[in-house]
Amino acid sequence: MLNISNLTYRIGARVLFEGANVAINAGHRVGLVGRNGTGKTTLLKLITGALSPSEGEIDLPKRWSIGITSQEAPHGPKSLINTVMGADRELVDLFAEAETATDPDRIAAIHTRLADKDAHTAEARAAVILAGLGFDEVAQQKPCNDFSGGWRMRVALAGLLFTQPDLLLLDEPTNHLDLEATIWLEDYLKGYPGTILLVSHDRDLLNRSVDEILHLENGKMTLYKGGYDRFEETRRMRLDQNEKQRAKQSAKRAEMESFIARFRAKASKAKQAQSRIKMLEKMQPIAEHHEEGSISLMFPEPEQLAPPLINMDKVSIGYDGKAVLNNLSLRLDPEDRIALLGANGNGKSTFVKLLAGKLEPLAGESSKSGKLRVGYFAQHQSEELDMNATPVLEMQRRRPQDSETALRSHLGRFGFGQQKAVTKISSLSGGEKARLLFALMTIAKPHILLLDEPTNHLDMDSRQALAEAINAFEGAVVLISHDPYIIELTVDRFLLVEGGRVQNYDGDMDDYREHLLGSAANRRSQRRGDNERDSSGNKKDERKRAAEKRNALGPLKKRLQESEKAVARLEAARTKLRQSMADPKTYGKDVHRLLDMQKQLGQIEKNLATAENDWLNLQAEFEQAQTEIAAAQ
């Protein structure tokens, strides 16, 4: 169990956490959410020990290994497969020592440990993870240095997943992934054997991959059951209930204050007035909840153009005379809302550059409306911004004919108020730079929005605002995104970019998810090949193993039942003690009685947490044994 007790952490005068508490059971998958600046990344660093709390404690089992997403991309001449396997330093050291060890006892110990770590499957496991993250068998054998920084960050993630730490800390793991790799990761995390703490702004990932949400707000931590959608619903209900209680309390206070004002000076009512004064002093006000300022985005309305906006007939497109995409025959109309599907490297961005006019066709015919204006967004554009300029100055350089008032008004559509509009771009967050790019690309009122991974660096609220802005936009939209939620919310047509072609895809996102996961499963099955069939082909041995597992299931079931009874006993003891503590008669004149009972309750809570953890582990072991028996029959 990961247990955080009375955690306080300060950065100068700023308090990120103050007396925060939470307990996360072993094996649970938890999404970590909260507005930017609430301390999500800081919390991960506190857990790893990279930072130290100002006060409080963070406790976890000493035997647990911890792994966290790296901020640095691996590099060097090693192949990708060897780079990933090299992330497990113990495995590398064991392999090396196995080659040189001469002492029989040590050799036996080495091979026992290698067996414990499933060393014979290490390369296959590394290959499966790399394939899921977008590297085919050929790419896996290439040197790490052959790949760009973004692709090498995927290798870093693959290495982390390969080591399978007991506590896996993931900080925005999808930032460098495409949709296909994101869907694979989502499925992988659902079956992860350890404990996960996941920071993400990807709603689908948080809905499908975690079973609890840890919300950071106002220096506190609150744990909610379920995925992100359930968290939002539960939190809203809690806030509504809190607001009702606050209104009820306010009415009560007003009533008491009115009574005091009317009768304080009257001798006959003085006693009652004094009583109400004391009640008012003891009444703890329920704080009013204030949502932080929400982000709004608004794309300007373009003038109407007759369709088609763009028409292509047997177009080929590529670089240096070599085609990447061939035989493109399609049209783009004003009402189109299109998402491009297909793994990175298949030509999605190339196709978007063709639509943006950044590339000319190598063959075929492409025509467009003479008055067509295109708004093009790509993440690399943030690198082209002048970091010493302000948003207003950057706009003035691109639209010198427009007044400053008009430019500020346009910036206001994207959340840049009076102060932010004159802040140096170097001081803006990643999300604010993305919103500045949205403002820059739409200043000319484009008829088409081409959005290539627009959600990177956007938090949950900004992503929601982007989806609403896309849906309100009256022109055409072509979207590339690794966020399935944004895709499902904004588009009604899919194009699959694959094998040098761009074709209509008739399914929806669920169909595409099943297609991807089914293809991955087929590849894994083919890789296992004849060896796996040989190892599982002896039905007699399978039946023998099944019988042995059934025999072992009896004692395991008994342990599970005993564990359930232990949890029930502790819960009953906790309930009984709480009831006693709620009754003033329990204490009488013994002022120390409450303190003793509070200590007892604390011990019971601690024992109950341990018992629940033991029960969860036994339940998982029992279910796994049942699954193995069923598979062997």
DSSP 65-104: -EEE--SS---SSSBHHHHHHTT-HHHHHHHHHHHH---H
With beta carbons less than 8 A apart as the criterion, state whether 134 and 519 touch: no
Cis peptide before 165 (omega within 30 of 0): no
Highest mean pLDDT among 26-40, 160-174, 294-308: 160-174
Q: CB count, 10 Å around CB of 412?
A: 16
pTM metric for this prediction: 0.69
Share of the chain above pLDDT 70, in %: 84
The rounded percent of the chain whose pLDDT value lies above 90 is 30
Mean pLDDT of the chain: 83
Q: Which of 117-131, 402-416, 539-553, 606-620 has the lowest mean pLDDT?
A: 539-553
Query: In whole angstroms, what is the distance from residue 126 CA to residue 124 CA?
Result: 5
Under the banding of pLDDT at 50, 70 and 90, the label for residue 123 is: confident
Angle (CA) 277-279-282 rounded to 5° is 110
Cα 219 from Cα 229, distance rounded (Å): 23
- Mean pLDDT value of segment 612-632: 69
8 Å CB contact between 221 and 40: no
Look up residue 304 and give its DSSP letter: P
Rounded to whole angstroms, what are the CA distances from 474 to 298, 334, 439, 440, 471? 11, 8, 16, 18, 8
The β-bridge relationship of strands 195-199 and 167-171 is parallel
At residue 23, the pLDDT reads: 92
Q: How far is CA 291 from the centre of its chain?
A: 22
For 432-459, give one letter per residue: b (16+ CB within 10 A) or e.
Answer: bbbbbbbbbbbbeebbbbbbbbbbbbbb
> How does residue 344 score in pLDDT terms, banded at 50, 70 and 90?
confident
CA-to-CA distance for 452 and 216, rounded, in angstroms?
30
Burial of 267 (0-12, 13-18, 19+ CB in 10 A): exposed
pLDDT for position 535: 43
| Residue ranges with strand state E in 138-254 | 167-171, 195-199, 212-217, 220-225
The strand pairing partners of 79, in sequence order, are 143
Q: Which two tokens stand for residue 441?
A: 């690309």
The pLDDT-based confidence of 268 (bands split at 50, 70, 90) is: low
Tell me what pLDDT residue 502 has: 92
CB 566 within 8 A of CB 611: yes
271 pLDDT band, cuts 50/70/90, is low
Segment 390-414 mean pLDDT: 90
